[in-house]
Amino acid sequence: MAALAELRDIGGDRLGEFASWVADHARTHLPFVAEADGRIVGSAWLHIAGRVPGGDSFDRLYGDVQSVMVREEYRNQGAGAALMAAILAEARERGLLHVTVHSGRRAVDFYLRNGFSHHRQMLLWEPEAP
């Protein structure tokens, strides 16, 4: 839990609060970790959400990848790719309809190389800057 918190820039003073959040969201926010040299060096989260039921289908789940982070000294060694492969295997196993990701500016190519593609029917709204 401490390693997951650190990778999210959450200080030790809020570790208990973070651990409670993770426990409360265990069914919807799945953490994946990358290990190297006996320590956790990266993490990524799969948020699982439900779409509105339709017809006979009441179990329409999709995923959203969030908070992908590999410690700087362990980048470019395949940890990020391994995290994405594990997440997409989980998505397949759970029969998710699709998985989205809101990429950081510099990580778009990383996601394109790891199974994602641009989709012309995915649209995004953001509030105006104040």
Ligand X SMILES: CC(C)(COP(=O)(O)OP(=O)(O)OC[C@H]1O[C@@H](n2cnc3c(N)ncnc32)[C@H](O)[C@@H]1OP(=O)(O)O)[C@@H](O)C(=O)NCCC(=O)NCCS
Of positions 4, 30, 70, 91, contacts ligand X by CB under 6 A: 70
Residue written as tokens 């391994």?
A: 82
Q: Which is nearer to ligand X, 77 or 100 (CB)?
A: 77
Of positions 13, 37, 58, 76, contacts ligand X by CB under 6 A: 76
The alpha carbon torsion through 16, 18, 24, 27 (nearest 10 deg) reads -140
Of positions 79, 92, 116, 124, contacts ligand X by CB under 6 A: 79
Q: Which is nearer to ligand X, 53 or 78 (CB)?
A: 78
Rounded Cα–Cα distance for residues 55 and 53 (Å) = 7
Q: 20 to 59, contacts with ligand X by CB under 6 A?
A: none
Q: What's the closest the beta carbon of residue 71 comes to ligand X, in angstroms?
A: 8
Six token digits for residue 10 = 């959450």
Residues forming the site for ligand X (CB under 6 A): 68-70, 75-81, 103-104, 106-107, 109-110
